[in-house]
């Protein structure tokens, strides 16, 4: 799927956010990235969607070095990656339906396609009956579902979720995780940045732990804390 080779990112203020990182994510896998604030998790996401470029190293995504993409190719790369932000980033003047349709319009889907796909993803995240509500009429967990639906509707190869359960109670978090498992089961690679210990420990998936910009642990079927 993608591979980081000796990637280092030093920001203009001389802060080294990511320091000589190498790892590989297989197609169709489900992985957690854990670590304290400032460990380099957000930079990792930014590197993957080419919002920032590494100072050193290569990032191969689907056999293509994305550090070498031209300005014009960036949008095409981003269509292969669905990002779910911690703060959802929903458009509050658009309905649930319109928020998801918006993502399809932006990449040039036909109205016919949009009318077919939006109800499908809405039913997958369990929001069929809320299609005409506005985001701020809904609870946090439901808003998170909209964000997920919007990220998957364009059928990306990779889904990146940044703290998807950060603001949710355990029960809602569990429901959200079921949706991610379903997305992953259908073949989409999932990369989740999280602080949620309970979730990491229940899921028993690969865990990559970052500290001060370096990978200090990478275990299959790991736990949130150091595996013994």
Partner 1 sequence: MTSRIFKHTFKQGIQGIMRNRTMSLASIGSVASVLVILGLVLMVILNVNAISMSTKETFDEIFVYLDDHISNQRIRQIGEEISSIEGTLAVVYQSKEYALNQMKEEWGEDGRLLEGLVNNPLPNTYVVQLVDVSYASRVISLIEQKDGIEEVKYYKDIVERLIATADFIQYFGMVVILILLLVSIFIIQNTIKITVASRKIEIELMQYIGASNGFVRGPFIFEGIVLGLLGSLLAIVIVLNGYDYLVSFTNEKMFAMLSFYLIPAQNIAFDFLIIFMTIGVGIGILGSIVSLKKFLNV
Residue nearer to partner 1 on the CB measure, 14 or 108: 108
Six-digit token pair at 28? 């169709």
Question: Which residues, 6 or more positions from 93, have their beta carbon under 8 angstroms from its beta carbon?
Answer: 134
Residue nearer to partner 1 on the CB measure, 83 or 122: 83
Contacts 24+ apart (CB under 8 A), 213-219: 213/9, 213/16, 213/17, 213/18, 213/19, 213/21, 213/39, 213/40, 213/43, 214/19, 214/20, 214/21, 214/40, 215/21, 215/22, 215/23, 218/23
Size, binding site for partner 1 by CB under 8 A: 21
Q: Which residue has the tokens 């400032």?
A: 38
Q: Does 170 bind partner 1 (CB under 8 A)?
A: no
Q: Does 89 bind partner 1 (CB under 8 A)?
A: yes
Stretch that binds partner 1, among 8-16, 102-110, 164-172, 209-217 (CB under 8 A): 102-110
Residue nearer to partner 1 on the CB measure, 1 or 198: 1
Q: Does 106 bind partner 1 (CB under 8 A)?
A: yes
In whole angstroms, what is the distance from residue 214 CA to residue 194 CA? 17
Smallest separation (angstroms) from partner 1 to the CB of 183: 17
For residues 30 to 69, the per-residue mask of contacts with partner 1, x marking binding by CB under 8 A and - elsewhere, is -------------------x-x------------------
Q: Does 79 bind partner 1 (CB under 8 A)?
A: yes
Q: Which of 8, 83, 13, 16 lies closest to 53 in space, CA to CA?
A: 8
114 contacts 106 by C-beta, under 8 angstroms: no
Six-digit token pair at 102? 């918006």
Stretch that binds partner 1, among 21-29, 70-78, 121-129, 217-225 (CB under 8 A): 70-78
Give the footprint of partner 1 on this chain (CB under 8 A).
49, 51, 71-72, 75-80, 83, 89, 91, 102-103, 105-108, 110, 154
């Amino acid at each position: 799927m993608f591979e980081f080779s000796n990637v280092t990112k030093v920001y203009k203020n001389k802060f080294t956010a990511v320091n000589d990182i190498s790892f590989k994510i297989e197609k169709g896998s489900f992985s957690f990235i854990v670590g304290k604030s400032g460990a380099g998790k957000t930079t990792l996401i930014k590197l993957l969607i080419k919002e920032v470029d590494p100072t050193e190293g290569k990032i191969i995504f689907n056999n293509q070095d994305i550090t070498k993409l031209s300005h014009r190719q960036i949008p095409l790369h981003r269509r292969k990656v669905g990002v779910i932000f911690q703060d959802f980033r929903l458009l509050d003047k658009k309905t649930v339906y319109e928020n998801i349709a918006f993502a399809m319009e932006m990449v040039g889907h036909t109205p016919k396609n949009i009318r077919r796909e939006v109800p499908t993803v809405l039913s997958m995240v369990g929001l069929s009956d809320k299609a005409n509500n506005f985001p701020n009429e809904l609870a946090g967990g439901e808003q998170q579902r909209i964000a997920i639906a919007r990220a998957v509707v364009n059928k990306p190869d990779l889904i990146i979720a940044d703290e998807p359960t950060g603001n949710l109670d355990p029960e809602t978090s569990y429901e959200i995780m079921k949706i991610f498992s379903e997305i992953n089961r259908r073949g989409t690679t999932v990369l989740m940045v999280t602080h949620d210990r309970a979730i990491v420990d229940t899921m028993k998936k690969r865990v990559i732990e970052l500290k001060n910009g370096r990978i200090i642990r990478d275990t299959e079927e790991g736990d949130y804390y150091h595996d013994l």
